Structure 1
Amino acid sequence: MNEVRAVNAVDVTKTYGGLTAVDAVTVQVDQGEVYGVLGPNGAGKTTFLRMLFGLIRPDSGTLEIFGRTWDRDGVRALDGVAGFIESPKFYPYLTGRRNLQLLAGLDGGGAATRIDEVLDVVDLTGRDRDKVGGYSFGMRQRLGVAASLLRDPRLLVLDEPANGLDPAGIRDMRALIARLADSGLTVLLSSHDMTEVEQICDNVTIMRAGTVAYHGTIADLRERAPAPGHHLVTTDDAAALTLAAGRPGLQVTPAAEGGLTVRGGPPHLDAYVADLIAAGVALRGLSAAQTPLESLFFMLTESTPEAAPAAAELTGTRR
């Protein structure tokens, strides 16, 4: 008999008036894996997680958590589930330990006996008697994970856990999630950062405007990723765009920060640069701007209709 999935959401849809926030999305998370729901802001990631926690109800589709549903099992659908949506909140005038004690009292059971353990897991031992108002943002995020672990969950759900953290905080959060996964805990997280998901997730769903742009493993995503993107600065970007038109194996678009973004393999890029120079367009800068996976992510979530067919061909995704 197959093991029941931690999350089995099939064709889940949520609309708000004329806006379809989540459109027939399927996400299936096996027990013991780290699963990422990836997409830019507004893609529908948080709406999906809100449905998972029962904060809002889907208009159609089915959503099971360890085989339980909200309609059939009510709040028991969240047995063995913990986490947070957006940033966790605490009483800033109380210590980290006291905040956890209050939450443990609400949960009951053996939650209070796990306070020392969860503080150690998130590396807050020694700072637990400091007021939360004096914590860094990263420390408050880790305290949120500690509060979730008080429930001794089988599934941990984290909404953008590294969002807003400095590089050291991002490193610490990734290391924490890796340790939790190694312990056998199932982790479902949302993110808009391809690098974050690549480093810690086994499988991923990439969302775009409420729909699924890709389902699959990180390994398969790496195999399908195109050449890395480069940032190109020239003396005449308009002429450089004209020269790029119609070239096979090369995509050149204006970059938000100025200059151009060039995607293509080394032979195509080399030939393009040589032609620019021959045409009298001088280069002022050429640097790697995106990893191959970042390039694929932007192609999959690109809002222009021209990008969709190319992305679907790269991933084999049916729309």
Structure 2
Amino acid sequence: MSDVLAVDAIGLTKTYGALTAVDRLNLQVSQGEVYGVLGPNGAGKTTFLRMLFGLIRPDSGALRVLGRSWTADGVRALDGVAGFVESPKFYPNLSGRKNLQLLAGLDGGTSPSKIDEVLETVDLRDRSRDKVGGYSFGMRQRLGVAAALLRDPKLLVLDEPANGLDPAGIRDMRALVKRLATSGLTVLLSSHDMAEVEEICDDVTIMRSGAVVYHGSIATLRSRAPEQAHELHTTDDEHAALLAAARGLEVSRLSPGLAVRGPQAEIDALVAGIVADGVALRGLARRETPLEALFFMLTEPDLDLAGAAR
């Protein structure tokens, strides 16, 4: 594998008047990995991707993509790079295949077999002659991936690829990205969904208000996550809260019910104790996953950024 980084951002900063959209971002993506840039809306993810594609220029800092920069190499900085920022756009009155043919023409054209190949990869070959205006949102997102793959990229950049999709579309998009990752393609994925990043990515940068609050592996992030939280409903929540506190579980009031957080074995013992005391259990459900809980903690406005970042 090449020692040249797929993405190397150092001190990258972009401001709009008094707003700092990206604040001294350092981010390195090795070739062959699936890297997530995670954060709530307004965190600076899309601004960073716009700088990567040369759509806007940083105010300060340096950015190299596959060893090249816009400053030194101009448009050649995008050699080997493909993807989309926000949702891909197509001609709605043309078929998916015709849209791909037109896009391929901008790069000098391609063979029909290559178009068949990318349509097969994104599971759209059977719908390739249908007008894009009749495609679902998820199908248009996958057609965007197909358009990117026409360039045979070394680095595929996807901005919120599952955003706005229904559950089936989310499942299909995640499966597609995972298939692409197994081929050795470098994938840089932005998202506001912790579950999506956890399922797909090797490493992650979490952003908040333009700044980094976490850099590192998903495995390390998991080690920092709090215990699993459960939502609990009983016929006597006051008694259940006393039992939970006695076991050292973290308890907070809901309306109605309780939220309890702690080791799974203690949650199981709590449920057994509630039933043994003659209190009926009306409901027990997992709340956000531990990583989702940590994501919310990291991106809360009152968090000390300097203490959270790694």
Closer, same or farther: CA 177–103 of 1 in aligned 2, 3 Å: same
Instruction: Provide Cα deviations, 1:224-283, integer angstroms capped at 9, x if missing partner.
Output: 22101233568999x99x99xx9997656677x976654444588689999x9xxxxx98
Segments of 4+ moved more than 2 angstroms: 109-113, 229-237, 246-255, 257-274, 282-287
* Structure 2, gaps ≥5 residues long: 275-279
Closer, same or farther: CA 300–54 of 1 in aligned 2, 3 Å: same
Tell me by how many angstroms 1:166 deviates.
Answer: 1.3
Letter in 2 for 1:298: F
2-side partners of 1:303 and 1:270: how far apart? 34
Count matched residues. 310
Tell me by how many angstroms 1:110 deviates.
Answer: 3.5
Is 1:230 aligned with 2:230?
yes
Tell me by how many angstroms 1:167 deviates.
Answer: 1.4
CA contact (8 A) 1:111 1:150 kept: no
Identity %: 71
Letter in 2 for 1:161: P
CA contact (8 A) 2:225 2:291 kept: yes
CA contact (8 A) 2:6 2:186 kept: yes
SS of equivalent to 1:231: strand
Where does residue 197 of structure 1 map in the other structure? 197
2-side partners of 1:83 and 1:122: how far apart? 14
Where does residue 15 of structure 2 map in the other structure? 15
Show the 5 A alignment for 1:163-202.
Answer: 163-202=163-202
1-side partners of 2:236 and 2:191: how far apart? 36
Closer, same or farther: CA 131–233 of 1 in aligned 2, 3 Å: same
1-side partners of 2:26 and 2:295: how far apart? 19
Is 1:78 aligned with 2:78?
yes
Where does residue 277 of structure 2 map in the other structure? none
2-side partners of 1:228 and 1:56: how far apart? 41
SS of equivalent to 1:87: coil
Letter in 1 for 2:294: L
2-side partners of 1:23 and 1:254: how far apart? 37
Is 1:291 aligned with 2:289?
yes
Letter in 2 for 1:188: L
2-side partners of 1:84 and 1:43: how far apart? 18
Tell me by how many angstroms 1:223 deviates.
Answer: 2.1
Where does residue 213 of structure 1 map in the other structure? 213
TM-score (norm 1): 0.84
2-side partners of 1:247 and 1:83: how far apart? 53
TM-score (norm 2): 0.86
Where does residue 279 of structure 1 map in the other structure? none
Closer, same or farther: CA 14–125 of 1 in aligned 2, 3 Å: same
Closer, same or farther: CA 226–71 of 1 in aligned 2, 3 Å: same
CA contact (8 A) 1:111 1:151 kept: no
Letter in 2 for 1:10: I
Letter in 2 for 1:162: A
Closer, same or farther: CA 287–33 of 1 in aligned 2, 3 Å: same
SS of equivalent to 1:126: helix
Letter in 2 for 1:22: V
Letter in 2 for 1:291: T
CA contact (8 A) 2:247 2:270 kept: no
CA contact (8 A) 1:49 1:85 kept: yes
Is 1:153 aligned with 2:144?
no
Instruction: Provide Cα deviations, 1:120-174, integer angstroms capped at 9, x if missing partner.
Output: 1111111100111111111111000001111111100000001111111111111
1-side partners of 2:45 and 2:251: how far apart? 29
SS of equivalent to 2:94: coil
CA contact (8 A) 2:39 2:208 kept: yes
Tell me by how many angstroms 1:46 deviates.
Answer: 0.8
Where does residue 299 of structure 2 map in the other structure? 301
CA contact (8 A) 1:105 1:112 kept: no
Letter in 1 for 2:87: S
Closer, same or farther: CA 81–2 of 1 in aligned 2, 3 Å: closer
Instruction: Provide Cα deviations, 1:24-74, integer angstroms capped at 9, x if missing partner.
Output: 111111001110001111111111111111111111111100111111111
Where does residue 131 of structure 2 map in the other structure? 131
CA contact (8 A) 1:119 1:125 kept: yes
Tell me by how many angstroms 1:318 deviates.
Answer: 3.9
CA contact (8 A) 1:5 1:66 kept: yes
Instruction: Provide Cα deviations, 1:192-212, integer angstroms capped at 9, x if missing partner.
Output: 111111111111111112111
Show the 5 A alignment for 1:204-283.
Answer: 204-232=204-232, 261-265=259-263
2-side partners of 1:304 and 1:235: how far apart? 36
